[in-house]
Amino acid sequence: MSNILEAINNISQLDNLSVKSITFGSNRANNMGEGLESFVKDAFANTFKEGDKNVRNLVHNKVYSFQGSKRNPPDLMIRKGAAIEVKKIESLTSELQLNSSHPKAKLLSTSKFITKKCRDSEVWTEKDFIYVIGHTPKGTKTLSSLWFIYGDIYAASEETYTSLKTDIGDTIENIPDIDFSKTKEIGRVNEVDPLKITNLRIRGMWLLKQPYSVFSYVHKYEVGKRFQCFALIPTAKYEKLPVSSIDKINSIQNNLSITDVKVNDPDNPVNLIDCKLIKYII
């Protein structure tokens, strides 16, 4: 089973950190995002140097149980492992656009935002959720930095977001003289005009601050470096990772450091969570 440490180890062996641009489609940002997804997919599966597509397919089938689409999370699910959501930014001040899917501490099989294919891809009820955020400066195809963040130190519990959605929907529903329908999003107001031919779809656009600013109190970017990779892993989870994976990380003698840090609990910021901060900088 693959994990964050395996992905970082595989990345550390690369000479070329370019992200392939996907040529189909008209939205360049999305296309570059798909290129980053492919990069991350190779990182966890260790298929960077595999040129035979048949072999790549077999390896990916062994490592992953599900690969998602733009509309539904997650982007990838590791068999018997974590779910992965990949986000690309072109500026360190950009917010992550999550669209209608709120931030996630965990991925639940009961979530209304996942597909049946995802739910049935393996036997599971709850998975760790890992955000992988890549910074590819505008006008380039080269990764400047890459973050791996566990959702439960980045996002609050599920009810924080679902209760807000419910409260907004209930407020709209109580407006006099409207025909409101509840949906998977916030809701829908029907027949808003005298002809009764216009409906209003109400959906959320969730935005999340990127880790460069959220976790600035435990890390500093080093100006002028070619590539910077950061991983924040709750210590309790780190200690449960395979010894073989920990040994691989510890064997990287150049450019990598592991330090103990404490981060704010997303549900109660006065509480602190022990974490391992892994930095690979070249």
Q: Please write the tens of the pLDDT for every residue from 37-59.
A: 999 999 999 999 898 999 999 99
The verdict on pTM exceeding 0.85 is yes
Is the bond into 176 cis (omega within 30 degrees of 0)?
A: no
Does 232 share its domain with 121? yes
Does 77 share its domain with 181? no
Does 21 share its domain with 144? yes
Give the residues across from 96 on adjacent strands.
Answer: 208
Does 40 share its domain with 101? yes
* 141, 176, 200 - which closes a domain: 200
What DSSP string runs through 98-142? EETSPP-SEEETT-TTS-HHHHTSSS-SEEEEEEEEEE--TT--B
Does 152 share its domain with 192? no
Does 127 share its domain with 193? no
Does 55 share its domain with 194? no
CA distances from 60 to 32, 74, 77, 209 (A): 21, 16, 11, 31
Nearest Cα to 179, choosing from 196, 164, 162? 196
Per the structure, the count of domains in the chain is 2
Structure tokens at 91: 């500026």
Each residue's pLDDT expressed in tens, for the chain with a length of 282 residues: 899 999 999 999 988 777 764 333 334 444 445 789 999 999 999 999 898 999 999 999 999 999 998 778 899 999 999 999 999 999 988 899 988 788 999 999 999 889 999 999 999 999 999 999 999 888 888 889 999 999 999 999 999 988 887 787 778 778 887 887 877 778 888 988 887 889 988 877 889 999 999 999 998 888 888 899 999 999 999 999 999 999 999 999 889 999 999 999 999 999 999 999 999 999
Does 52 share its domain with 183? no
Q: Diameter of the chain by CA atoms?
A: 71
Write out pLDDT tens, residues 155-170.
999 999 888 877 877 7
Does 11 share its domain with 86? yes
Does 125 share its domain with 246? yes
Structural domain range at position 27: 4-158+205-281
Which amino acid is it at 210? Q
